[in-house]
Each structure stands twice: as C-alpha cells, then as structure tokens.
Amino acid sequence: MMKSCLPVLCLLCALLAGCAGTVNLDGEIGAFGPGTSAAQVELKMSGDTFHFFLLTNQANLCPKLQQSYERAATAINDFSDLADEDECRAFAEGLSEAWDPLVAGNAHFAATNIYSGSFLDFLGGLDELTEPEDGTFEIDDGEATLQLAYFGAGSPYAEAAEELTDCDFDGFAADLDDAVETVAAEDGEVSLSESESGAWRVDFEVELIDEGGDSAGTGTGGFGASHCEVDVSSVGSGYLFVPHVFLPWVRP
C-alpha cells in the first residue's frame, strides 16, 4: 500500500492552514517542504486540452497559474518580428512579467499526469488520453509521468531577459534551463482517486533520475487537488518558453 506522507508530516499538514500535501525525498536533491497549494489543471490549448496535477510551496496556485498563462499568451500574441531587437526585448520582458511571479523566489513544484491509452492514441489528441481517472498508473510502462522542479532565489525570466542580445532566444531558453533543477520519475507508480465532490487525491512512490540520467534517489508523497481551468486557446502554434514543469510530458 502506498504511503502518502510520514505521520509527523501528515500531522503538521493537518495543523497548518492551506497545506495541500507533502513530498518526502531520499537522495541528493534538496528538501521539497510542505506543499502549500495544488491544482488539477485543465490546460485548454489551441486545438487540444492537456490535464495534469501540480503541487507547489507557493500560495494560491490556481489564480497565479491562470494569470501567468494569460500574460504569457498576451506577450506571445503581440510578438511578430524575430529580427527587431526592441520587440525581442519587449517579448522577453513580457514573459518575465508572466512567469516570474509564479516561479521566482525558491519556488518548488511537483507535476504529474497520466496516459490512459497507448502511444498511438497520441494521434487522437491529449484530452481523453490525459483526463484523470481513478486507478494506479506505472511510470516505467508509460502510464504516467512525474517530475520535481526547483527554481532558485532569483527571477529567472528577468535575468534571462537582461542577457538577451541579437534576439538570441536559443540562449534565452538555455539561461532558463540553467535556472531550474529538475528530476523526473524513472520508475514507480502514481495513484489517483476522485472524491464525491470532484476533488482529486494524488499519491506517488517513485525512483528519480536527474537531468543527466543518473539516480537521484526516491520520492513518496501525496496531495489533494481541485479543478483549475487555464485557457490559452487564443495562442496558435509556437507557444514558447512555458516552464517545463507546467508541461509535464516534457522530461528533463
């Protein structure tokens, strides 16, 4: 039977207002800390919908996530000229205004999603494939993904924007990658259960690898999450520079 948290941490979460869940780690990666807020995200994109779960040490996840995606969509829709230095700078600064309020200041995230079908089902889109359902899903069978992301104390998008020259967005993306430490589940399982109210319970027990593919220890945890709709369907192809942890099918 999967354990969602250690007894002492469970008790602390019961006593602390707003504590959504816990992540317990045994390895070299730093402590995650009590999760403050969580969401069962329904991300409506142009032509498809992606479902995933997020836990963070930041408060008020859902409204912050909605605001960040909305601001990022505005920045992307307003950007048209890859050769104009001023427009490139404005675009990068717009992304900073979108994402830094969510990821700056030592923000931590745990993200997971399921795949309730075969690889060929990707051809039919992500909506039904990733829609949550009750059950236990195996990481190594491709039925689920899970990753943890640790942002530093700074403001990664603002810092990357300051370094942007000659509209070099490859360098911009590389600076963003350097600003976050990510580990992903290589083996283990994720369990989902829905309550009568429509809220979800997520529990996991996984083996983790770092960005180089080396073992990063093990992780167990659990959290509760309510529905959070995020609509970025106004953005066409090329929805760029979303932090990987908010697109959990992207492994580090």
DSSP string, the chain: ----S-HHHHHHHHHSTT--EEEEEESSSPP---B-EEEEEEEEETTEEEEEEEEESSS-HHHHHHHHHHHHHHHHHT---TT-HHHHHHHHHHHHHHHHHHHTTT-EEEEEEE--S-GGGGGG-SHHHH---SEEEETTTTSEEEEEEEE-SS-HHHHHHHH--TT-HHHHHHHHHHTEEEEEEEEEEEEEEE-TTS-EEEEEEEEEE-TTS-EEEEEEEEEEE-EEEEE-TT--S------GGGSTTS--
Distance CA 146, CA 219 (A): 10
How high is the pLDDT of residue 132? 94
Class of residue 131 by CB neighbours under 10 A (exposed 0-12, middle 13-18, buried 19+) = middle
What is the pLDDT, as a whole number, of residue 119? Answer: 54
Query: In the chain, which residues have pLDDT < 50?
Result: 1-18, 238, 252
pLDDT number for residue 133: 94
Its pTM stands at 0.86
- Cα–Cα distances (Å) from 252 to 11, 85, 213, 245, in that order, read 33, 30, 9, 9
**Residue with token string 């969510």:** 102
Residue found by looking up tokens 């039919």 in the block: 124
